[in-house]
Amino acid sequence: MALFGLIVTYLLLQLYVCHGQRWPLSGSCYPCDCKIIQKSSGRVKYVNCSNLSLERIPRNLPLDLNTLDLSHNELIPQDLRQLCTFKSMQYGSLSFNGLTQLPKYTFDTCHDLLHLNLTGNVFKKLEKGSFGGLGNIIGIYGLEVNEMAEDVFREMTKLKTLEVIYNGRTLTGAIFNGLPINEMKLVVTNLQILPSNMFQFGIKTLNDLSIIGPEITFFSENSLHGLGVLRKIYLDLKKLVSLPEKIFHNNGKLDIVSSKPENLQEIWILNVAAIPPKIFKDLDNLHKLILRGIQSVPSEGLFNDLLNVEYLDISDCSVNQISQIWLAELYSLKTLKLRQTGIRNIEPGVFTGLVNLQELDLSYNVLRDVKQESLQPLVNSLKKLNLNGNMLNRIDSNLFQRMYNLVSLDISDNKLVSIEKDAFSDLRQLVFLNINDNKLSNLPLGLFNSLRNLQTLDLSMNTFTKFPGALDKPGYLLKLNLSSNRIIKFPENFLDSFPYLEYLNLLNNQLYCDCSNLVIKYLRPNLKIIGTCFFPDKYAMRKIADIEALECLELTVSTTNVMATTPVSHILPNSSYMIDTSSITVEVRSTLVIFNSSEGFESQTLLTQSDWTDLYPSSTFQSTPPLENINGSLVAPTIHFNDLTETVSTTSVNTTSHVPPIFKAEINEEKFYDHLVFRVTIGVVSGAIFVCGFMALVMWRKRMKRREVYEVTDTHC
């Protein structure tokens, strides 16, 4: 009952903390929700008024709130002035209120507001003064507008983050002039050409720039001219035929025509039809490059100058074939993603030079075979390999040879029908292995013997009809997924084979639920089993987790099934019969009588030997007198009785079996109750001590507050 004492302690501490954080001290939260949130910057007084269908801001809210969430309501624009009554408010959310207009000087006295979220509203027009009063604001998020005046942002002299969705067809290049913005996300839904001088405001301040323009057809090579502190750029321009070759070369000082972009570290280019081969020239400090949806990628010279790139993602692009010199100079590369690029083959030497590569993603290509020679340059550094979604039909024994540092391997969603025994023999550090969605029905014994660090194994969506024999003691396996196979029952040595298992998924199998299956969850209470019974009919579609121990016994305990030439008046539980005729022939079909004793688990059984062997293979089968084998069934010999009322024992089968402790009746009731009383006593005493301590602490706090009041009174006097 020490646990009871800990629970009491926790509840008392929570009560103490709540008492110390009680808020609001004035005002009311109805119909909203008030709470204090602990953040790295300190305690935040948070009021949640979202999803209340409010048309007006509640007037009774605590005035000292820090954050006010009014999202997903129906606020009227004229009532937004009420926000400025909260002088301590730093963050406000008006998102998804259906606002279409913002009256001038709505925020005229909101001088302390630092962040404003306007996501989900579409303003028809914003004029000068729409954001009047927000001179100290730091961030505007999700602003969507159809038309806006050139000087609409002019008063925001401290603005650092701006997110704008602009639906108009024209936009002046000076609209952001004078703003000290560090991070900007600009979405222009209808513009075809961006003014070339639009981003000149950020020469000394702009670090992060995102431009999304689904209709843009022209992008000037001077658009980024002078952005000397730019570190990250994101371009999604699906109608642009090609980016200018010098687009990243002119982001140095204005007085230099083609300066070296010294600060650019991350580039995203999405959905552009083509990129020129020298577009990344001289980007010495670039660390991350993502190319997505590029229809034409140059096969040579594209990455020659990227000596410091550590992350390269060329997913969803048209590549098809990789030349041997394409990646040759990427000495610093740690992550390479070539996902869904149409690659059909990887020639030896393609990865030569990638001495620091730790992660390789070749998923969703058209690879039918991967040679060990192709991966040979990566054996010392590679930690994560993804071959998912290809067309591999077998894994050779030497494919992953000498990959001693590999931690994660994904070969799922292929056409695998076989894996050679030594395929994983060198993967000593492997922790995660995914082989799901293949056509495997069997695995060679010893396949996982070398995987001493394996923790997660996914074999789902294959064609296994039983637990693969290769799964005998596979390292420190914690999670095993065998869902969507054709497995019927657990192996006899399941508990010995998986001593550390915590999660087992057996969904969508054809499980036959008997004691040998279900008792596992009681012997291993920390093991979470996900699955449903398929047989017998009584338990069909029942979750394994929902079947209790008693029901588990009922699956194997049955009444005696006797076929006799004359009626039997009564059948006793101990398999003795009271006979009312002079002779009887008994044919035993399937009978199991179970009872507990001080010696453990015993049973008297009348059944066919084959049935008994199926139920308990490790048990002995003996009968006295011997049963006769007639047409495959064991039949008791004819027994004659002289006395019609005599009680005799029929043929019986005595068995001894090692049965899990869950079924043993060896509990000493006296010791059990003594132990229970001891634990309850300890729990009560612990709880009483903590209650006394807590009350003393509360009294001490009250006394200290009273002393402070006296001191203040004396001072005034």
pLDDT at site 340: 94
pLDDT at 618: 43
pLDDT attached to residue 516: 64
Q: CB–CB of 566/581 below 8 Å?
A: yes
> Which residues of the chain, if any, have pLDDT below 50?
1, 15-20, 252-258, 550, 553-672, 708-717
Phi, psi of 93 (to 5 degrees): -120, 120
Structure tokens at 361: 């993603």
Given a contact cutoff of 8 angstroms between Cβ atoms, the answer to whether 343 and 319 are in contact is yes
Q: DSSP character for 133?
A: T
Beta-ladder partners of 530: 505
Tell me, what's the pLDDT at 16? 46
The first and second tokens of residue 370, run together, are 């991967």
Phi and psi, residue 588, nearest 5°: -90, 125
- Which pLDDT value is given to residue 6? 53
Please list, in sequence order, all residues whose beta carbon lies within 8 angstroms of the beta carbon of residue 490, skipping any fewer than 6 positions away.
467, 516, 517, 520
Helical axes 2-20 vs 669-716, angle rounded to 10°: 20
Say what the pLDDT of residue 120 is: 96
Q: Which CATH superfamily is domain 181-296 in?
A: Ribonuclease Inhibitor (3.80.10.10)
The C-alpha atoms of residue 289 and residue 306 are separated, in whole angstroms, by 10
- Distance, in Å, from the CA atom of 248 to the CA atom of 236, rounded to the nearest integer, reads 15
Phi-psi region of 458 (alpha: psi -120 to 50; beta: other; left: phi over 0): beta
Q: Do residues 76 and 94 lie in contact, with contact meaning Cβ atoms separated by under 8 Å?
A: no
> CATH homologous superfamily for 32-159?
Ribonuclease Inhibitor (3.80.10.10)
Fold observed for domain 420-555: 3.80.10
Element counts in the chain: helices (H) and strands (E): 8, 40
Please say whether the beta carbons of 521 and 528 come within 8 A. no
Contact 521, 527 (CB under 8 A): yes
How many whole angstroms separate alpha carbon 320 and alpha carbon 492?
49
Give the pLDDT of residue 646: 31
Using CA atoms, how far apart are residues 331 and 357, in angstroms rounded to an integer? Answer: 8
User: Can you give the pLDDT at residue 313?
Assistant: 96
